[in-house]
Amino acid sequence: MKRLRFTERMNCIALCLAFALVLLLPQSAFANAPVPEPGTTNTGGGTVVEMIVFMALLGAASLITIVLELLIALIFRLKPVWWVIPVNLVSNLAFNLLLIVFCYIMEMSYIGYILVGEIIVILLEYLIYTRIYQTTSRKRLLIYSVAANTVSAVLPLFAAVMVLE
């Protein structure tokens, strides 16, 4: 395993700090914020317990996404594979926090946001991976980014449908 250069180490530290900020922000800024149903007006009245449940569900969704994308990274033989973890932590949590803003507060279409958001995540992760995995072909990284994000977006939906039936 090659030793990381100074700039790569700084990128990793920046990703970790961004992740820590994303984790701390909801606890301070959104602790008493309501989480309304899509399409309803935000009238306030959310409880701390509701926010804790929401954050737990967000954490579980992030964990499932990371596990799925790590497994796919192993299939694509990306090395070192651990880079997938901080990239996905940041992109997944940022995606879900923006989901709250655009769908619940600004009342944007949920499906429209998911489609546009997933395309943006695929492109951003691809750009990040091209910087991290410089010896891996760009085509392979693009295919990985599309495959991993498609599987991690679609598989939980199928699981939810199976559970609800």
Q: Higher model confidence: residue 97 or residue 41?
A: 97
Confidence category of residue 113, pLDDT binned at 50, 70, 90: confident
What integer pLDDT is reported at residue 143 of this predicted model?
94
Q: State the Cα angle at 40 between 36 and 42, rounded to 5°.
A: 55
What integer pLDDT is reported at residue 13 of this predicted model?
58
Q: Higher model confidence: residue 19 or residue 120?
A: 120
Mean pLDDT within 120-128: 91
What integer pLDDT is reported at residue 161 of this predicted model?
67
Is the pLDDT at 4 greater than 60? The verdict is: no
Is the pLDDT at 148 greater than 80? The verdict is: yes
Mean pLDDT within 55-81: 86
| Most confident among 14-18, 32-36, 67-71 (mean pLDDT) | 67-71
Q: Higher model confidence: residue 42 or residue 148?
A: 148
